[in-house]
Amino acid sequence: MINRLTDSLDFQAQALTLRSERQRIIAGNIANADTPGFVAREMDFASALREATGATAGAGTMAGASVTSPAHIPLTLQSAGALALKYSAPAQTNLDSNTVDMDRERASFVDNSVKYEATLRFINTNVRQMLDAMKSASQG
């Protein structure tokens, strides 16, 4: 029963972890906008989240490391961000072979921070709903 209460919270928590990983990756790209030879990294968020939550639903393990025996130690979500890292294709070539596209990075950054806040709001609403459900009718 308590599992059911926290399952959706677990999912949102993993989404939040991945969002903050992605935020860090984009921050690294923006920091290296003027570094010669730097190759921009990007995370395929949808597949990263699917991998993080899909293997064993809501159990906090990451994909490619599914637990098939009770003796296995499940890998946690900690390094899930590293798992899904890809290289973003350069939109324009650059003389110093830097592939950071600032417009795209800025857009991704804003996109990611808005979605991070959305996930936070989901969590807050979830918590409030649970608290409401626990109240007795007399408490209002």
Partner 1 sequence: MSLLKIFDISGSAISSQSQRLNVVASNLANVDTVAGPDGKQYKAREVTFQTVMMATGDGAPAAGVKVSKISEDQAPGRKVHDPSNPSADADGYVTYSNVNAVDEMVNMISASRSYQNNIEVMNTAKNLLMKTLQMGQG
Q: Is 44 in the site for partner 1 (CB under 8 A)?
A: no
Which residue, 55 or 120, is less far from partner 1 as judged by CB? 120
Instruction: Determine which residue in the list 7, 44, 117, 129 makes contact with partner 1, applying CB under 8 A.
Output: 117
Interface with partner 1, residue 88, by CB under 8 A: no
Judged by CB under 8 A, the number of residues near partner 1 is 36
Task: Give the type of residue at 122.
Answer: F
Contacts of residue 25, Cβ cutoff 8 Å, sequence gap at least 6:
41, 42, 43, 81, 85
Burial profile 2-29: b = 16 or more Cβ within 10 angstroms, e = fewer: eeeeeeeebbbbbbbbbbebbbebbeeb
Stretch that binds partner 1, among 52-60, 63-71, 86-94, 120-128 (CB under 8 A): 120-128
- Partner residues linked to 114 by β-bridges: none
Q: Which of 5, 33, 57, 59 is close enough to bind partner 1 by CB under 8 A?
A: 33
What gap in Å lies between CA 49 and CA 74, rounded to an integer? 17
Please tell me the distance from the alpha carbon of residue 43 to that of residue 19, in angstroms, as a whole number: 10
Residue in 81, 88, 99, 108 binding partner 1, rule: CB under 8 A: 81
Among the listed ranges 45-53, 62-70, 87-95, 123-131, the one in contact with partner 1 (CB under 8 A) is 123-131
Mapped onto helix, strand or coil, the DSSP state of residue 43 is strand
Structure-block tokens of residue 16: 């939040």
Residues near partner 1 (CB under 8 A) are 16-17, 20-21, 23-24, 26-36, 38, 41, 78-79, 81-82, 85, 102, 106, 109, 113, 116-117, 120-121, 123-124, 127-128
